[in-house]
């Protein structure tokens, strides 16, 4: 009977993480933090995750949101939403990534500010959910987002827009 002593340095070749797997782990974490930033609608948190020249594009074109937003415009957009919404948690349903992009299929919940709700309106009339797709183009290191294409849920976006522009809403601002 032959006995073989175990020698970890010669009996096993341990796979070393490749640059791609390291970058993909970093970019997945960056994408996760990006989605988490929606909860508080804090524009500065989004900007921390983006390159200085990052462009945020909304789709589909039918929503007439054709002007892309640089970091400053996106921060202003978030500040406006914070006047209407208390929180906007976004939940990842599925995440796909390759070496330069992360694509996220997500759902959301809209939590309105108390002063934005109509008095006596049932909570169900003040709650919206939606589905979204985010395509994040990442920098070479995977720690910053160079471009965002956000596909909005057309019906939910129109419902929120309609709710935020009603006569009673205007009186409450």
Contact call for residues 88 and 109 (beta carbons, < 8 A): yes
Residue of 1 and 110 predicted with greater confidence? 110
CATH class for the domain made up of 18-172: alpha beta
Contacts with 130 (C-beta within 8 Å, 6 or more apart), sequence order? 107, 108, 110, 152, 153, 155, 156, 157
pLDDT at 21: 58
Q: What is the pLDDT of residues 7-57, one digit of tens each?
A: 545 444 444 455 555 568 999 999 999 999 999 999 999 999 999 999 999
Give the separation between CA 55 and CA 51, rounded to whole angstroms. 9
Over 80: is that where the pLDDT of 105 sits? yes
pLDDT at 118: 65
Q: What is the pLDDT of residues 73-89, one digit of tens each?
A: 999 999 999 998 889 99
Task: Using CB atoms within 10 Å of the CB of residue 165, give its burial: 0 to 12 exposed, 13 to 18 middle, 19+ buried.
Answer: exposed
How many Cβ atoms sit within 10 Å of the Cβ of residue 20? 11
As a whole number, mean pLDDT of residues 89-118 equals 90
Over 50: is that where the pLDDT of 1 sits? no
User: What pTM, to 2 d.p., does this model score?
Assistant: 0.74
Question: What Å distances lie between residue 56 and 25, 50, 74, 159, CA to CA?
Answer: 23, 10, 7, 22
Q: How confident is the model at residue 110 (pLDDT cuts 50, 70, 90)?
A: confident
Over 50: is that where the pLDDT of 93 sits? yes
142 sits in the region (left: phi over 0; alpha: psi -120 to 50; else beta) called left
């Amino acid at each position: 009977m032959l006995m073989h002593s175990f020698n970890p340095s010669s009996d096993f070749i341990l796979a070393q993480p490749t640059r791609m797997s390291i970058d993909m782990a970093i970019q997945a974490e960056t994408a996760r933090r990006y989605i988490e930033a929606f909860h508080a609608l804090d524009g500065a948190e989004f900007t921390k995750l983006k390159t200085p020249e990052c462009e945020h594009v909304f789709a589909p074109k039918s929503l007439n949101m054709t002007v892309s937003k640089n970091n400053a415009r996106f921060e202003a957009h978030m500040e406006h939403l914070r006047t209407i919404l208390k929180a906007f948690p976004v939940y990842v349903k599925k995440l796909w990534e390759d070496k330069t992009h992360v694509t996220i299929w997500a759902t959301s919940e809209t939590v309105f500010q108390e002063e934005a709700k109509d008095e006596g309106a049932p909570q169900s009339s003040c709650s919206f959910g939606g589905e979204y797709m985010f395509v994040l183009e990442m920098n070479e290191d995977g720690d910053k987002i160079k471009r965002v294409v956000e596909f909005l849920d057309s019906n939910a976006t129109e419902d929120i827009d309609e709710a935020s522009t009603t006569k009673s809403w205007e009186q409450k601002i």
